[in-house]
Amino acid sequence: AQKVTQAQTEISVVEKEDVTLDCVYETRDTTYYLFWYKQPPSGELVFLIRRNSFDEQNEISGRYSWNFQKSTSSFNFTITASQVVDSAVYFCALSEAMGGSQGNLIFGKGTKLSVKP
C-alpha cells in the first residue's frame, strides 16, 4: 500500500530562519511521482514541484529547495530565509505511475508552517 507520512504537524519559525519540512513515503512501485503542494488559508492547493522516481537530482527554485533520497524514501522541502508569506499548510503527495501516467494523489496529513515577523 502507498503511504505518505509528514511527522511534523506544526512548525513555528521567526522570519529569515531556514526551515525543513520532512516527508517520508512508502510504495511498492518502482515508478512513481512525488509532489509538494502549498495550501494557504484561502484553501486552494498550489503546486510547487513534481519529481519522478528516476530523477534523484535535488532542485532549487529561489528560496525553495528539495532533497529526494530514494535510499531513505524521503522527499524533504527546505525554505531558506523564510517569510511571513510562506505561512501555510504544506502537503507532500505520492502517485503511482500508470503506464507512465500519473495516478491519483495520496497526500500526507500536512505540516502547518507559521512564520512570525
For the CB of residue 104, give the shortest distance to other proteins in the complex, in Å: 4
Contact 73, 13 (CB under 8 A): no
For the CB of residue 110, give the shortest distance to other proteins in the complex, in Å: 5
List b or e across 55-79, with b for residues whose CB sees 16 or more CB atoms inside 10 angstroms.
eeeeeeeeebbbebeeeebbbbbbb
80 vs 103, which CB is nearer to other proteins?
Answer: 103
8 vs 80, which CB is nearer to other proteins?
Answer: 8
16 vs 40, which CB is nearer to other proteins?
Answer: 40
Binding residues vs other proteins (CB under 8 A): 4, 35, 37, 42-47, 50, 91, 93, 99-110
For the CB of residue 38, give the shortest distance to other proteins in the complex, in Å: 10
Element (H, E) at 46: strand 46-52
Helix (H, G, I), strand (E, B) or coil at 43: coil
